[in-house]
Copies of this chain bind each other. A is one copy, B any other.
């Protein structure tokens, strides 16, 4: 509140001292805002809802759709237009018909970006533009809190699209620099949207099979090198590696791939979808670029999977500010601000301290889940696969006898409100026109059928207990069902 208004307030209360205290408090809150605007990082301690709302209100009031503050005669929604206020005679004035919709966006209506660039300041919406830029700064900071070095993450942008579409935009950006490239070398991971992002962008994926090392599925570095050699580096848009994945696949050997890419002059895009939550993955990414030893052009990572917001955003980051900027400049037109706003609110409210704590809890939950799954497996004739290189996801090899009925186990768990547990038995399948053997298991022939479970950020330790309990009860029922079915089959 401005000084004149505060004086008037003192007059209304007929008491200056309460207002003096309010002034002092306001100064303190302003200091918090100033710190955000000058340091441009996540606050150490999260902000209260009151402070977040307050600052959102300040930014919203800067946008042209909130010029003027008097309400038209009728209609709901925001939209200015009083005699002293804003008047819109353009085709896009941020008018919002529904008050409920205006409210859920805190009166921000203009989205982000302008025709030129998704991070360009939108003249009608400086407040929205500020929120966007601060979110970019805070996202970069959050990656660093999670372990990224300044070399690895020189800058970051948040795109209001999920990882698949964002990877696609990165590919389109690289194409402007490598017009002759037609292929993307892709160490196999059986997840549709990354394959699709390659094909939709108009490139031909060169699928490089992984190899087995004990229980683990790992990158076949030589095969990648061979693939590059076979087509020639110039024909390759990039290597597209993956860190976070379901066990027994492990994060790709980004150190090796980065070095190879550097050596061959091929760009390297890392699908780090939910890798931010793993210190181990972040460290290997740091190592990959440290001292210029290897090449990573861009990291794409999901906002929902790493920062616990609704699905819809992606952080694109990398060691080269120019490349990150090029991605933003390629985006045609404006975009939804909603996923950015979610991240803005969340990072401010959470603060670095709580984020660190969530990361530590996740690590502890992984360890706890590992132990409980191993113990459970032992008692049930199953076996926890040894996949230490994957510190998010775990896999339990199921006894041969049940493999034939595997999908039913997954379905039974889902109907008992266990979501995310998947029973995997590779199948031969065509995806995006490419034939995959053993699809679902990341290699053509994985020796066994297994059950996946992961410890992701935000999981609570109590969930592990409930999971093991339901798993065990489901397992018993499942075996009974199978036994009955087999008796039935035998009787025929």
Contacts and interface: CB of A to CB of B under 8 A. Distances in A.
Contact of A57 (B4, B57, B417): B57
B8 A90 contact: no
A28 B85 contact: yes
A330 B30 contact: no
Nearest to A68: B417
A102 B38 CA distance: 29
Interface in A102-134: 102-105, 107-112, 115-116, 121, 123-124, 126-127, 129-130, 133-134
Interface in A58-76: 58, 60-62, 64, 66-76
B422 A90 contact: yes
A456 interface: yes
Contact of A456 (B9, B47, B90, B417): B90
A444 interface: no
A49 B193 CA distance: 32
A187 B405 CA distance: 59
A409 to B, nearest CB: 14
A49 B308 contact: no
B48 A161 contact: no
Contacts of A339: 336, 338
Contacts of A309: 96-98, 101
B43 A70 contact: yes
A123 B90 contact: no
B88 A311 contact: no
Contacts of A28: 67-69, 84-85, 417
A351 B97 contact: no
Interface stretch (A165-173, A253-261, A375-383): A165-173
Contacts of A188: none
A165 B305 contact: no
Interface in A173-209: 175, 191-194, 196-197, 200-202
Given A336-B313, A350-B98, A86 B417 contact: yes
Contact of A69 (B51, B163, B415): B51
5 contacts: A2-B30, A19-B126, A101-B309, A115-B193, A336-B338
Given A71-B354, A73-B462, A91-B305, 9 more contacts: A8-B34, A51-B69, A91-B454, A92-B302, A95-B308, A115-B164, A175-B202, A193-B333, A310-B338
